[in-house]
Amino acid sequence: MSETVVVIDFETTGLSPEQGARATEVAAVVVSNGAIVDRYQSLMNAGVRIPPFIEALTGISNRMVREAPTAGTVMAELADFIGETPLVAHNAAFDRKFLQAELQRIGRPQRATMLCSMRMARRIYPDAPNHQLATLVRHARVAETGAYHRALADAEMTAGLWLKMRQKLEETFKLPSVPLALLDKIQSAPCNGLRGCVEAYRRSCARK
């Protein structure tokens, strides 16, 4: 039994909302008891032009977005979908700033916590060639569910990676479960502090 999380992924027109970048697509998948149990995905029309480089990167064209629901409509649906469930994203700092910026535009502050699968992977797979999502998916033998740089496929593969990392922690340290509180401590500790985090967690459990 593991706590439910929502894995989220944004495709955007650039790297920073403060520089005018907007979301073009979002996906969120609910992960519960070791599997994806629900999905949300939508392109969104924020009324901005997608640069050619981003069109080539994601395959999301200006024409596709023109025919999509407005960003406000999609973000309201997304906010209802995720509620206050803890979130996970690959390089969460990136998705967090777009989630906050887009929700702020519709007056829906985001309260859920967000864990980072990339920070977690740096601690659990320190020997991976690098910690890009695509590399980690291959390294951890996660099923590839679609094209990279599309929101639903990236969210699903991040969810798969998340489940593999939890499984590896359980097997390596003989843990009956891996609570989010422990994962939060692991991702906040130094990269070489994984074992120390787990041992501290064991001691805290033994005292209870």
Binding stretches for DNA (CB under 7 A)? 9-12, 14-16, 18-19, 24, 51-54, 56-58, 90-91, 93-94, 118-119, 122-123, 130-134, 149, 154, 187, 190-192
Which lies closer to DNA via its Cβ, residue 5 or residue 155? 155
Which lies closer to DNA via its Cβ, residue 21 or residue 30? 21
H helices present in the chain, as ranges: 52-58, 62-66, 71-82, 92-105, 117-124, 133-139, 151-173, 180-188, 194-207
Which lies closer to DNA via its Cβ, residue 80 or residue 188? 188
CA 151/CA 129 separation, integer angstroms? 24
8 A C-beta contact, residue 90 and residue 160: no
Minimal distance, residue 155 CB to DNA, in Å: 9
Minimal distance, residue 189 CB to DNA, in Å: 8
Which lies closer to DNA via its Cβ, residue 151 or residue 178? 151
CA 104/CA 7 separation, integer angstroms? 20
Minimal distance, residue 107 CB to DNA, in Å: 23
Minimal distance, residue 63 CB to DNA, in Å: 17
Among the listed residues 156, 162, 192, 168, the one whose alpha carbon sits nearest the alpha carbon of residue 180: 162
